[in-house]
Copies of this chain bind each other. A is one copy, B any other.
Amino acid sequence: MIFNSDNAAPVPPAVLAALSKANHGGAPGYGADDLTQAVEALMREVLRAPDAVVRLVATGTAANALSLAAFCPPWGTVFCHEHAHIAEDECGAPEFYTHGARLSLIPGAHGRIDASALARAIEASGASVHNQQRGMLSLTNVTEAGTVYSAAQTAALVDLARAGGMPVHLDGARFANAVAATGTHPAELTWRAGVDVLSFGGTKNGLMGVEAVVLFDPERAWEFDLRRKRGGHLLSKGRYLAAQMLAMLEDNRWLDWAAHANGMAARLVHGLSARGIALAHPVEANILFPHWPQGTSARLRAAGATFHDMPAPEGFEGARLVTSWATTEAEVEALLHLL
Protein backbone atom coordinates (compact mmCIF):
# COMPACT_ATOMS: atom_id res chain seq x y z
CA MET A 1 0.00 0.00 0.00
CA ILE A 2 2.40 2.61 -1.31
CA PHE A 3 0.72 5.97 -1.35
CA ASN A 4 3.48 8.28 -0.12
CA SER A 5 4.50 9.48 -3.56
CA ASP A 6 4.45 8.58 -7.21
CA ASN A 7 8.23 8.62 -7.00
CA ALA A 8 8.15 5.70 -4.57
CA ALA A 9 6.95 3.32 -7.27
CA PRO A 10 9.18 1.11 -9.37
CA VAL A 11 9.34 1.64 -13.13
CA PRO A 12 7.14 -0.21 -15.63
CA PRO A 13 8.65 -3.19 -17.46
CA ALA A 14 8.62 -1.23 -20.70
CA VAL A 15 11.21 1.11 -19.22
CA LEU A 16 13.61 -1.64 -18.28
CA ALA A 17 13.05 -3.23 -21.65
CA ALA A 18 13.89 0.04 -23.36
CA LEU A 19 17.12 0.35 -21.39
CA SER A 20 18.10 -3.16 -22.37
CA LYS A 21 17.33 -2.50 -25.98
CA ALA A 22 19.38 0.70 -25.95
CA ASN A 23 22.33 -1.05 -24.35
CA HIS A 24 24.37 -2.24 -27.27
CA GLY A 25 27.19 -0.75 -29.25
CA GLY A 26 28.61 2.72 -29.06
CA ALA A 27 26.60 5.89 -29.02
CA PRO A 28 27.78 9.47 -29.30
CA GLY A 29 27.62 11.34 -26.03
CA TYR A 30 25.84 14.38 -24.65
CA GLY A 31 22.58 14.05 -26.52
CA ALA A 32 23.95 13.48 -30.01
CA ASP A 33 22.66 9.91 -30.04
CA ASP A 34 19.77 8.68 -32.17
CA LEU A 35 17.42 8.05 -29.28
CA THR A 36 17.69 11.61 -28.03
CA GLN A 37 16.89 12.83 -31.53
CA ALA A 38 13.93 10.47 -31.64
CA VAL A 39 12.60 11.82 -28.36
CA GLU A 40 12.61 15.34 -29.72
CA ALA A 41 10.84 14.25 -32.88
CA LEU A 42 8.16 12.31 -31.03
CA MET A 43 7.62 15.00 -28.41
CA ARG A 44 7.10 17.57 -31.17
CA GLU A 45 4.47 15.29 -32.62
CA VAL A 46 2.80 14.65 -29.29
CA LEU A 47 2.61 18.37 -28.60
CA ARG A 48 1.92 19.34 -32.23
CA ALA A 49 4.81 21.74 -31.90
CA PRO A 50 7.06 21.10 -34.89
CA ASP A 51 9.67 23.69 -33.91
CA ALA A 52 9.87 22.93 -30.21
CA VAL A 53 13.25 22.24 -28.64
CA VAL A 54 13.29 19.25 -26.31
CA ARG A 55 15.99 18.72 -23.71
CA LEU A 56 16.28 15.95 -21.14
CA VAL A 57 17.43 16.27 -17.56
CA ALA A 58 17.34 13.91 -14.59
CA THR A 59 15.24 15.85 -12.08
CA GLY A 60 12.16 17.99 -11.96
CA THR A 61 13.98 20.59 -9.92
CA ALA A 62 16.55 20.93 -12.69
CA ALA A 63 13.82 21.14 -15.33
CA ASN A 64 12.00 23.86 -13.44
CA ALA A 65 15.00 25.91 -12.36
CA LEU A 66 16.62 25.83 -15.79
CA SER A 67 13.31 26.77 -17.40
CA LEU A 68 12.92 29.76 -15.12
CA ALA A 69 16.52 30.84 -15.61
CA ALA A 70 16.08 30.72 -19.37
CA PHE A 71 13.41 33.42 -19.20
CA CYS A 72 13.68 35.35 -15.94
CA PRO A 73 16.60 37.71 -15.28
CA PRO A 74 18.24 37.95 -11.85
CA TRP A 75 16.24 41.09 -11.13
CA GLY A 76 12.92 39.51 -12.12
CA THR A 77 10.09 38.21 -9.99
CA VAL A 78 8.52 34.82 -10.67
CA PHE A 79 4.83 34.82 -9.83
CA CYS A 80 3.70 31.40 -8.64
CA HIS A 81 1.21 29.74 -6.33
CA GLU A 82 2.16 30.05 -2.68
CA HIS A 83 2.44 26.26 -2.43
CA ALA A 84 4.16 25.69 -5.76
CA HIS A 85 6.90 23.09 -5.88
CA ILE A 86 9.39 25.77 -6.90
CA ALA A 87 8.47 27.68 -3.74
CA GLU A 88 8.31 24.90 -1.22
CA ASP A 89 10.30 21.90 -2.37
CA GLU A 90 13.40 22.91 -4.25
CA CYS A 91 15.66 24.44 -1.60
CA GLY A 92 15.94 27.63 -3.56
CA ALA A 93 16.94 26.10 -6.89
CA PRO A 94 15.01 28.82 -8.77
CA GLU A 95 16.98 31.50 -6.96
CA PHE A 96 20.22 29.62 -7.59
CA TYR A 97 19.71 29.10 -11.31
CA THR A 98 18.32 32.57 -11.97
CA HIS A 99 21.11 34.20 -9.95
CA GLY A 100 18.72 35.71 -7.49
CA ALA A 101 15.25 36.15 -8.96
CA ARG A 102 12.47 36.47 -6.41
CA LEU A 103 9.28 34.46 -5.98
CA SER A 104 6.01 36.30 -5.47
CA LEU A 105 3.65 33.89 -3.77
CA ILE A 106 0.07 34.11 -5.01
CA PRO A 107 -2.77 32.54 -3.05
CA GLY A 108 -5.60 30.55 -4.59
CA ALA A 109 -7.98 27.83 -3.51
CA HIS A 110 -7.08 24.20 -4.08
CA GLY A 111 -3.64 24.85 -5.45
CA ARG A 112 -4.76 26.99 -8.38
CA ILE A 113 -3.61 30.58 -8.64
CA ASP A 114 -6.46 33.00 -8.03
CA ALA A 115 -6.69 35.15 -11.12
CA SER A 116 -7.61 38.35 -9.36
CA ALA A 117 -4.89 37.88 -6.76
CA LEU A 118 -2.43 37.41 -9.60
CA ALA A 119 -3.73 40.50 -11.36
CA ARG A 120 -3.31 42.53 -8.18
CA ALA A 121 0.20 41.23 -7.56
CA ILE A 122 1.28 42.03 -11.10
CA GLU A 123 -0.32 45.44 -10.86
CA ALA A 124 1.47 46.13 -7.58
CA SER A 125 4.81 44.90 -8.86
CA GLY A 126 7.45 47.47 -9.38
CA ALA A 127 8.58 49.18 -12.48
CA SER A 128 11.06 51.69 -11.11
CA VAL A 129 14.75 50.99 -10.82
CA HIS A 130 14.28 50.51 -7.09
CA ASN A 131 12.10 47.44 -7.51
CA GLN A 132 12.65 43.87 -8.42
CA GLN A 133 11.06 43.77 -11.90
CA ARG A 134 8.31 41.66 -13.37
CA GLY A 135 9.85 38.41 -14.51
CA MET A 136 7.70 35.41 -15.28
CA LEU A 137 4.60 33.45 -14.41
CA SER A 138 5.02 29.84 -13.35
CA LEU A 139 1.98 27.57 -13.32
CA THR A 140 1.78 23.96 -12.14
CA ASN A 141 -0.52 21.43 -13.73
CA VAL A 142 -1.45 19.07 -11.94
CA THR A 143 -1.25 21.48 -8.99
CA GLU A 144 0.31 20.54 -5.67
CA ALA A 145 -3.24 20.21 -4.32
CA GLY A 146 -4.08 17.58 -6.90
CA THR A 147 -6.35 19.78 -8.98
CA VAL A 148 -5.92 20.62 -12.64
CA TYR A 149 -6.09 23.73 -14.77
CA SER A 150 -8.27 23.55 -17.84
CA ALA A 151 -6.99 25.03 -21.07
CA ALA A 152 -9.23 28.02 -20.51
CA GLN A 153 -8.01 28.52 -16.94
CA THR A 154 -4.43 28.27 -18.16
CA ALA A 155 -5.00 30.76 -20.94
CA ALA A 156 -6.69 33.21 -18.61
CA LEU A 157 -3.68 33.28 -16.28
CA VAL A 158 -1.27 33.40 -19.18
CA ASP A 159 -3.14 36.41 -20.53
CA LEU A 160 -2.57 38.26 -17.28
CA ALA A 161 1.14 37.51 -17.50
CA ARG A 162 1.28 38.60 -21.13
CA ALA A 163 -0.50 41.83 -20.31
CA GLY A 164 2.21 42.37 -17.72
CA GLY A 165 4.90 41.67 -20.31
CA MET A 166 5.90 38.31 -18.90
CA PRO A 167 6.58 34.87 -20.37
CA VAL A 168 5.09 31.74 -18.81
CA HIS A 169 6.47 28.47 -17.47
CA LEU A 170 4.41 25.38 -16.82
CA ASP A 171 5.67 22.91 -14.22
CA GLY A 172 4.26 19.68 -15.59
CA ALA A 173 5.86 17.20 -13.23
CA ARG A 174 2.46 15.47 -13.42
CA PHE A 175 1.47 16.89 -16.79
CA ALA A 176 0.44 13.46 -18.06
CA ASN A 177 -2.09 13.20 -15.24
CA ALA A 178 -3.46 16.62 -16.16
CA VAL A 179 -3.84 15.66 -19.80
CA ALA A 180 -5.45 12.36 -18.87
CA ALA A 181 -7.74 14.08 -16.40
CA THR A 182 -8.91 16.85 -18.68
CA GLY A 183 -9.01 14.90 -21.88
CA THR A 184 -7.62 18.04 -23.47
CA HIS A 185 -4.94 17.87 -26.13
CA PRO A 186 -1.56 18.72 -24.58
CA ALA A 187 -1.08 21.51 -27.10
CA GLU A 188 -4.15 23.23 -25.69
CA LEU A 189 -2.75 23.07 -22.19
CA THR A 190 0.61 24.48 -23.23
CA TRP A 191 1.69 26.51 -26.23
CA ARG A 192 -1.77 27.18 -27.59
CA ALA A 193 -2.62 28.67 -24.22
CA GLY A 194 0.53 30.74 -24.43
CA VAL A 195 2.98 28.71 -22.38
CA ASP A 196 6.60 29.39 -23.38
CA VAL A 197 8.40 26.58 -21.63
CA LEU A 198 7.18 23.29 -20.19
CA SER A 199 8.70 20.97 -17.63
CA PHE A 200 7.32 17.71 -18.99
CA GLY A 201 7.50 15.14 -16.24
CA GLY A 202 8.62 11.58 -16.67
CA THR A 203 9.78 10.52 -13.24
CA LYS A 204 6.51 10.71 -11.33
CA ASN A 205 4.79 9.00 -14.25
CA GLY A 206 7.09 5.97 -14.21
CA LEU A 207 10.65 6.72 -15.32
CA MET A 208 13.78 6.33 -13.22
CA GLY A 209 14.62 9.99 -13.29
CA VAL A 210 13.94 11.69 -16.62
CA GLU A 211 12.24 14.99 -17.33
CA ALA A 212 11.96 16.91 -20.56
CA VAL A 213 12.16 20.65 -20.92
CA VAL A 214 10.21 21.80 -23.95
CA LEU A 215 11.07 25.25 -25.28
CA PHE A 216 8.42 26.36 -27.73
CA ASP A 217 10.69 29.05 -29.14
CA PRO A 218 13.65 27.29 -30.78
CA GLU A 219 15.79 30.42 -30.52
CA ARG A 220 16.14 29.70 -26.82
CA ALA A 221 17.96 26.43 -27.40
CA TRP A 222 21.58 27.50 -27.36
CA GLU A 223 21.44 29.56 -24.17
CA PHE A 224 19.44 26.82 -22.51
CA ASP A 225 22.05 24.26 -23.53
CA LEU A 226 24.80 26.35 -21.98
CA ARG A 227 22.84 26.75 -18.78
CA ARG A 228 22.12 23.01 -18.66
CA LYS A 229 25.77 22.08 -19.15
CA ARG A 230 26.90 24.72 -16.65
CA GLY A 231 24.43 23.30 -14.14
CA GLY A 232 25.91 19.82 -14.56
CA HIS A 233 22.68 18.54 -16.11
CA LEU A 234 23.97 17.39 -19.49
CA LEU A 235 24.39 13.63 -19.12
CA SER A 236 27.10 12.06 -21.21
CA LYS A 237 25.23 8.84 -21.91
CA GLY A 238 22.11 10.51 -23.16
CA ARG A 239 20.71 7.34 -24.63
CA TYR A 240 19.69 6.04 -21.22
CA LEU A 241 17.52 9.03 -20.50
CA ALA A 242 16.19 9.09 -24.03
CA ALA A 243 15.34 5.41 -24.15
CA GLN A 244 13.13 5.81 -21.13
CA MET A 245 11.38 8.93 -22.34
CA LEU A 246 10.84 7.36 -25.72
CA ALA A 247 9.33 4.24 -24.17
CA MET A 248 6.98 6.44 -22.21
CA LEU A 249 5.88 8.54 -25.16
CA GLU A 250 5.49 5.63 -27.56
CA ASP A 251 2.20 3.80 -27.88
CA ASN A 252 0.50 6.42 -25.73
CA ARG A 253 1.99 4.83 -22.62
CA TRP A 254 2.45 8.20 -20.89
CA LEU A 255 -1.29 8.75 -20.91
CA ASP A 256 -2.16 5.14 -20.14
CA TRP A 257 0.05 5.19 -17.06
CA ALA A 258 -1.35 8.52 -15.94
CA ALA A 259 -4.93 7.45 -16.60
CA HIS A 260 -4.34 4.36 -14.51
CA ALA A 261 -3.02 6.46 -11.64
CA ASN A 262 -5.93 8.87 -11.94
CA GLY A 263 -8.34 5.94 -12.01
CA MET A 264 -6.91 4.46 -8.85
CA ALA A 265 -7.30 7.84 -7.19
CA ALA A 266 -10.92 8.02 -8.31
CA ARG A 267 -11.51 4.58 -6.87
CA LEU A 268 -10.02 5.74 -3.59
CA VAL A 269 -12.25 8.81 -3.60
CA HIS A 270 -15.26 6.63 -4.16
CA GLY A 271 -14.35 4.42 -1.24
CA LEU A 272 -13.45 7.30 1.06
CA SER A 273 -16.67 9.04 0.23
CA ALA A 274 -18.63 5.90 0.99
CA ARG A 275 -16.97 5.92 4.39
CA GLY A 276 -17.82 9.56 4.98
CA ILE A 277 -14.21 10.71 4.84
CA ALA A 278 -13.90 14.27 3.62
CA LEU A 279 -11.21 15.55 1.30
CA ALA A 280 -9.35 18.82 1.60
CA HIS A 281 -9.32 19.38 -2.15
CA PRO A 282 -11.30 18.09 -5.12
CA VAL A 283 -9.50 15.06 -6.53
CA GLU A 284 -8.97 15.70 -10.19
CA ALA A 285 -5.88 13.61 -10.87
CA ASN A 286 -3.81 11.25 -8.72
CA ILE A 287 -3.43 13.04 -5.38
CA LEU A 288 -5.86 12.93 -2.43
CA PHE A 289 -5.89 14.81 0.83
CA PRO A 290 -8.29 12.93 3.16
CA HIS A 291 -9.21 14.05 6.65
CA TRP A 292 -9.86 10.91 8.59
CA PRO A 293 -10.56 10.28 12.24
CA GLN A 294 -7.73 10.55 14.73
CA GLY A 295 -5.85 7.34 15.24
CA THR A 296 -6.38 6.26 11.66
CA SER A 297 -2.93 7.15 10.38
CA ALA A 298 -1.09 5.03 12.91
CA ARG A 299 -3.41 2.14 12.29
CA LEU A 300 -2.89 2.29 8.53
CA ARG A 301 0.84 2.53 8.86
CA ALA A 302 0.89 -0.41 11.21
CA ALA A 303 -0.81 -2.31 8.44
CA GLY A 304 1.87 -1.31 5.97
CA ALA A 305 0.47 1.75 4.25
CA THR A 306 2.80 4.64 3.35
CA PHE A 307 1.61 8.23 2.96
CA HIS A 308 2.42 11.74 4.14
CA ASP A 309 0.85 13.51 7.10
CA MET A 310 -0.91 16.77 6.48
CA PRO A 311 -2.66 19.37 8.63
CA ALA A 312 -6.33 18.67 9.39
CA PRO A 313 -9.25 20.20 11.25
CA GLU A 314 -9.58 19.61 14.97
CA GLY A 315 -10.44 16.01 15.70
CA PHE A 316 -9.12 14.70 12.41
CA GLU A 317 -5.86 13.61 10.94
CA GLY A 318 -4.78 14.75 7.51
CA ALA A 319 -2.93 12.70 4.94
CA ARG A 320 -1.70 12.94 1.39
CA LEU A 321 -2.14 9.87 -0.79
CA VAL A 322 -0.63 9.65 -4.24
CA THR A 323 -1.37 6.92 -6.75
CA SER A 324 0.87 5.89 -9.59
CA TRP A 325 1.04 3.63 -12.64
CA ALA A 326 1.95 0.87 -10.20
CA THR A 327 -0.93 1.25 -7.80
CA THR A 328 -3.11 -1.84 -7.90
CA GLU A 329 -6.79 -2.27 -7.25
CA ALA A 330 -5.76 -4.66 -4.51
CA GLU A 331 -3.77 -1.94 -2.78
CA VAL A 332 -6.66 0.45 -3.03
CA GLU A 333 -9.11 -2.09 -1.70
CA ALA A 334 -6.76 -3.08 1.10
CA LEU A 335 -6.47 0.53 2.21
CA LEU A 336 -10.20 1.10 2.01
CA HIS A 337 -10.80 -2.11 3.87
CA LEU A 338 -8.64 -0.83 6.73
CA LEU A 339 -10.79 2.28 6.89
Contacts and interface: CB of A to CB of B under 8 A. Distances in A.
A100 B91 contact: no
Given A24-B10, A92-B132, A58 B209 contact: yes
A301 interface: no
A91 B103 contact: no
Contacts of A89: 130-131
Interface string A57-101: 111111111100000011100000000000011111101111111
B232 A233 contact: yes
A59 B223 CA distance: 20
B230 A209 contact: no
Contacts of A92: 74-75, 100-102, 132, 230
Contacts of A95: 74, 95, 100-102, 132
Contact of A11 (B10, B23, B60): B23
Given A23-B10, A96-B100, A133 B233 contact: no
A153 interface: no
A-side interface size class: 35 or more
A29 interface: yes
B74 A209 contact: no
Contacts of A208: 19, 237, 240
Interface string A312-325: 00000000000000
Among A59, A129, A225, A227, find the residue whose CB has the most chain B CB atoms closer than 10 A: A129
B229 A129 contact: yes
Contacts of A296: none
A8 B231 CA distance: 22
A260 to B, nearest CB: 16
Interface in A1-41: 2, 4-5, 7-11, 16, 19-20, 22-30
Interface of A: 2, 4-5, 7-11, 16, 19-20, 22-30, 57-66, 73-75, 88-93, 95-103, 126, 129-133, 203-204, 208-209, 223, 225-227, 229-237, 240-241, 306
Given A4-B28, A96-B100, A97-B232, 18 more contacts: A4-B26, A7-B236, A8-B29, A10-B27, A11-B23, A16-B23, A19-B19, A19-B208, A26-B306, A59-B234, A74-B96, A91-B129, A95-B101, A96-B230, A98-B100, A102-B103, A209-B237, A231-B231
